[in-house]
C-alpha cells in the first residue's frame, strides 16, 4: 500500500485518439497535474507497473486491450488503482457498455466533453478518493 498522497499529482490518460489525449494533457497539465499518455490498455499496463498514478482516465473503446479489459486487470493486479478510474467513451448507446459502467461503480465522462467537464470530474473524483 502506498502512503497517502503518493502519486496524486500524476494522471494516466489511456486514449487512442490523439486529439482527445492532447486536449486531456493540455487541460490537466494546466491544472497542475503531471500527465502521461498510453495509446491502449497494453501500454497502460506497462506504465502502471512502473509508476504510481493518482488517477487513470480510461477510454473504453481502444485497440489491443480495451478499457473494460484494462479495468478487469487493474481489479486483479492493482486493486487500489481500480478505485482511481474515470471512464470515457463516445459509445453510450450500447447496452454492454452502459451495463459495464454501472457495474464498475466508477465515474464516466461521455465524449465529446469540454475542458470544464474534464476538470470538474477529475476534481470531484480525487476529492472522493481522498475521503
For the segment 17-32, what is each residue's pLDDT rounded down to a tens digit?
999 999 999 999 999 9
Sign of CA dihedral 13, 15, 18, 20: negative
Distances (CA, A) of 110 to 82, 105, 118, 128: 19, 15, 10, 20
Q: What residue ranges do the domains of the chain occupy?
A: 10-130
Sign of CA dihedral 10, 13, 18, 20: negative
What pTM did the predictor assign? 0.91
CATH code at 10-130: 3.40.50.2300
114: left (phi over 0), alpha (psi -120 to 50) or beta: beta
For the segment 59-110, what is each residue's pLDDT rounded down to a tens digit?
999 988 999 999 999 999 999 999 999 999 887 656 778 888 889 999 999 9
Amino acid at each position: 500500500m502506498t502512503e497517502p498522497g503518493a502519486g496524486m499529482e500524476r494522471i494516466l490518460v489511456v486514449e487512442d485518439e490523439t486529439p482527445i489525449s492532447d486536449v486531456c494533457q493540455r487541460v490537466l497539465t494546466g491544472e497542475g497535474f503531471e500527465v502521461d499518455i498510453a495509446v491502449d490498455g497494453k501500454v497502460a499496463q506497462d506504465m502502471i507497473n512502473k509508476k504510481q498514478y493518482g488517477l487513470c482516465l480510461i477510454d473504453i473503446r481502444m485497440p489491443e486491450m480495451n478499457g473494460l479489459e484494462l479495468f478487469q486487470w487493474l481489479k486483479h493486479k492493482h486493486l487500489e488503482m481500480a478505485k482511481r478510474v474515470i471512464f470515457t467513451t463516445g459509445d453510450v448507446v450500447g447496452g454492454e457498455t452502459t451495463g459495464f459502467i454501472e457495474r464498475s461503480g466508477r465515474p464516466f465522462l461521455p465524449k465529446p466533453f469540454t475542458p470544464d467537464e474534464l476538470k470538474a470530474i477529475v476534481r470531484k473524483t480525487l476529492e472522493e478518493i481522498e475521503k
